[in-house]
């Protein structure tokens, strides 16, 4: 196992890269007026119906953002194919059955 080799970002990642801002609570910290003071980039994702965050090191922000976009594109393509398949099946079956 290679030691300390930075892991490559996977080509597809579910989630959204967002700027996470917080206030530390110290009364004379600059975050009182500057809400970007403790800003960090995080990957926001849901797991078991809960929203979770994981901090991203600076060099991973762009690759992870691209990977999440790739996931959204792939998901949209899959939805299109599924919808087209459904439409085709419905036309083969001569439309949804109607009551009465």
Residues forming contacts to Zn ion in the complex (CB under 5 A) are 24, 29, 31
Q: Which is nearer to Zn ion, 24 or 79 (CB)?
A: 24
Q: Which is nearer to Zn ion, 42 or 64 (CB)?
A: 42
Q: How far is the CB of 45 from Zn ion (least distance, A)?
A: 26
Sheet containing 40-47, strands listed edge to edge, beginning at the edge strand earlier in sequence? 16-20, 40-47, 50-55
Closest CA to 9 of 74, 72, 59: 59
Q: How far is the CB of 31 from Zn ion (least distance, A)?
A: 3
Cβ proximity of 54 and 26 under 8 Å: no
Q: How far is the CB of 23 from Zn ion (least distance, A)?
A: 6
Q: Which is nearer to Zn ion, 37 or 61 (CB)?
A: 37
Q: How many C-beta atoms surround the C-beta of residue 5 within 10 A?
A: 7
């Amino acid at each position: 196992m290679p030691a300390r080799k930075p892991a490559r970002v996977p080509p597809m990642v579910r989630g959204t890269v967002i700027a996470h801002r917080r206030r530390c609570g110290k009364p004379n910290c600059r975050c009182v007026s500057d809400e970007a003071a403790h800003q960090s980039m995080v990957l926001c994702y849901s797991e078991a119906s809960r929203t979770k965050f994981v901090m991203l090191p600076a060099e991973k922000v762009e690759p992870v953002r691209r990977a999440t976009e790739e996931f959204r594109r792939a998901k949209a393509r899959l939805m299109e194919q599924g919808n087209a398949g459904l439409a085709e099946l419905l036309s083969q079956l001569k439309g949804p059955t109607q009551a009465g």
